[in-house]
Structure 1
């Protein structure tokens, strides 16, 4: 009997949280109310909601309070995002709408990349669950729910609940964007040359194929994965990697990443015009 009352109370709270979310679609408080609603369905430690658009940098929809935005988050939004597996999966059309985990979309050597070690690892997450919603033909919204080591990875029951409520979240987020997008797009910053960062890195030093492979290395793909993606032999990839280090005067992936960050910094003036 007590169990039935507890279950009924949980259902009523879920309904109240959903009603509150709908009531806040046109209000600045929407992000916080959405976080509360999702917390009733799945345990998480951090929530980030951003929009991705091919010609523009990501826009933070939540949290909008600067006090809640870490230096690591600012570094991600300003330049490191172009090495983010989620960003690249969306941009390349490899990830459609729905619920997914970072582990399912990240390159096979993602955790060995300098991006992971110097940026992503700073978020101190063991698991990341992403809800991706297409807002229009050019813009996607991603809601990332992060879980720290102390909480552990997401459970099957939680993942099922997120998949069950996804259609509702999808519809509500689209309505939110229709009513509030103008409050955010005025802060958009044009990428300018940023969108060419990976393809232009090493220009004049590396061959086009070496530039392509360098970009894949920075994103976290192993030599075997690169060989499969480019339909070339593993031995050819290894030769390219050796040539890349010779031409860039590097010996480790960490040194390549340092050069890439310097390259990004050179592009910043063009990216903020």
Structure 2
């Protein structure tokens, strides 16, 4: 494949790649071809193509993560995606487009226990996500991860992705029309995850405390929680103190571990 310098405007080589994509548009290996073509335009270390729908578990369409990260990816898909900024942004109605993870993440995401103990396992310093809305409330996402050797995405590369996004979205729509039957979201997984969120701390925390606990786990600061719930920051701090007292926890790490234990107990029941 002819390479284009990362961040340059799509040119003749992109047109050749586009022709190749069109040739594979209804084939099962379209995601692999798409990966190859994107690599000729922008630089990235990892790629994860996944679909999201309501509270269903995400479905991995393609991943090029190294084998040693498979346990972390499996953990994400089966459990901790509930705390993921992308998942929650989609739940909140995120529209199609090109985003950096930090643009859609809660204000204290970097200091959240989910980020420290799960997301950071992937070793990324930047993540660029293409979000494409499909039929039946499905969101098709391409997450391009960059490690420290590449650094953050450049303005030129971001511009390139914005330029080609409408074409990529149209191609993905056609691929999905042909292959969506191979990627069916499981109704039981949606019910289980909704139940998990609704029942964490049940019988110990009040409904408001459960709501605030979920926002804490996702990486929202007290100030952000106050704005989301239209209450004072002081009230949030009181709730946080009460949550730790009722659950007998003292840190975010302990709260996160308890939440994972809750998920595991539900899966085993």
Q: TM-score, normalised by structure 1?
A: 0.90
* 3-state secondary structure, aligned to 1:50: strand
- Is this contact kept in 2: 1:194–1:268, CA < 8 A? no
After superposition, the Cα gap between the structure-2 partners of 1:188 and 1:26, relative to the gap in structure 1 and judged at 3 Å, is: farther
Asked whether the 8 Å contact 2:69–2:122 carries over to 1, the reply is: no
Matched, 1:81 2:74: no
Structure 1: 5+ residue stretches without partners: 1-9
**Aligned partners of 2:18, 2:68: CA distance in 1, in Å?**
24
| CA distances 1:196-222 after superposition (whole Å, capped 9, x unpaired) | 322221000000000000000000000
Name the CA distance, whole Å, in 2 between partners of 1:254 and 1:68: 24
Q: Which runs of 5+ in 2 are unaligned?
A: 1-9
Q: Is contact 1:59–1:188 with CA below 8 Å preserved after alignment?
A: no
Q: Which residue of 1 aligns with 2:177?
A: 178
Q: 2:183 is paired with a residue of what secondary structure? A: helix
- 2:246 maps to which residue? 247
Distance in 2 between residues matched to 1:98 and 1:65, nearest whole Å: 23
* Match in the other structure for 2:116: 117
1:168-220 CA distances to partner (integer Å, 9 max, x unpaired)?
00000011111011122287863322123222210000000000000000000
CA root-mean-square deviation: 1.9
Aligned residues: 260
Q: Name the CA distance, whole Å, in 2 between partners of 1:56 and 1:203.
A: 22
| Contact 1:57–1:188 (Cα < 8 Å) also in 2 | no
Q: Residues 248 and 186 from structure 1, CA distance in 2 versus in 1: closer, same or farther, beyond 3 angstroms? A: closer
Q: 2:256 and 2:60 mapped to 1: Cα distance?
A: 25
**2:103 matched residue in structure 1:** 104
Partner of 2:44: 44
Give 1:264's aligned residue: 263
Q: Provide runs of 4+ in structure 1 moved above 4 Å.
A: 64-69, 186-189
State the partner residue of 1:238: 237
What is the rounded CA distance, in whole Å, between the counterparts of 2:114 and 2:183 in structure 1? 27
Q: Distance in 1 between matches of 2:65 and 2:21?
A: 19
8 Å CA contact 2:129, 2:144 repeated in 1: yes
Where does residue 14 of structure 2 map in the other structure?
14
SS state at 2:203 partner: coil
Aligned residue for 1:141, secondary structure, equals strand
Q: 1:206 to 1:194 in 2, by over 3 A?
A: same
1:254 Cα offset (Å): 0.4
DSSP-derived class of the 2:135 partner: coil
* 1:149 counterpart = 2:141: no
Q: Is the 8 A contact 2:109 2:115 kept in 1?
A: yes
- Secondary structure of 2:262's counterpart equals helix
SS of the residue corresponding to residue 58 of structure 2 reads strand
Indicate the larger mover: 147-156 or 180-189: 180-189
The whole-number CA distance in structure 1 between the counterparts of 2:91 and 2:249 is 29
